[in-house]
């Protein structure tokens, strides 16, 4: 009887200290933006957030769902084991936000979710080796 083992990948090399500090700073800023600047206003029913989802015609359920996802993703950015996965999930959310801004809303703020998505993409790529698949 023979057994095969799955190939293992070597852990990534340690990042230089300035790069690690810059990455954690970016994650902290993004977390603050998503928790305090985007998710919380949606959950408390801030007028502008309510207006956006009314313009989309979805009602409050999508506003609350997106708010919860943004807060969860923002918190996930601060948890080392979850940071890469949280960033990737928030990138997907920003793709949806960009589509909503481009195709359904009259205001042209499509560049905000694009910029956030690119920054989140940097975090997702930098943290991709730290995501545990168990």
Distance CA 34, CA 97 (A): 13
Q: Where are the domains of the chain?
A: 17-130
Residue 10: predicted pLDDT: 54
Per this entry, what is the length of the chain?
134
Percent pLDDT > 70 in the chain is 87
What are the structure tokens assigned to 27, written together? 């994650």
pTM for the model: 0.86
Average pLDDT over residues 58-65: 94
Distance CA 81, CA 102 (A): 34
Alpha carbon 97 to its chain's center: 11
Residue 2: predicted pLDDT: 63
Q: Is residue 18 predicted with pLDDT exceeding 90?
A: yes
Q: State residue 133 phi and psi, 5-degree precision.
A: -105, 70
Q: Is residue 108 predicted with pLDDT exceeding 80?
A: no
């Amino acid at each position: 009887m023979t057994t095969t083992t799955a190939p293992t990948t070597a852990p990534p090399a340690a990042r230089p200290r300035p790069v690690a500090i810059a990455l954690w700073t970016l994650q902290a800023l993004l977390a603050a933006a998503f928790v305090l600047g985007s998710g919380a206003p949606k959950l408390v029913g801030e007028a502008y957030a309510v207006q956006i989802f009314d313009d989309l015609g979805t009602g409050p359920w999508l506003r609350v769902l997106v708010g919860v996802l943004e807060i969860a993703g923002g918190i996930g950015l601060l948890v080392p084991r979850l940071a890469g996965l949280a960033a990737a999930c928030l990138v997907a959310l920003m793709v949806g936000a960009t589509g909503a801004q481009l195709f359904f809303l009259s205001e042209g703020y499509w560049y905000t979710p694009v910029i956030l998505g690119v920054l989140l993409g940097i975090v997702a790529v930098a943290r991709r080796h730290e995501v545990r698949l168990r």
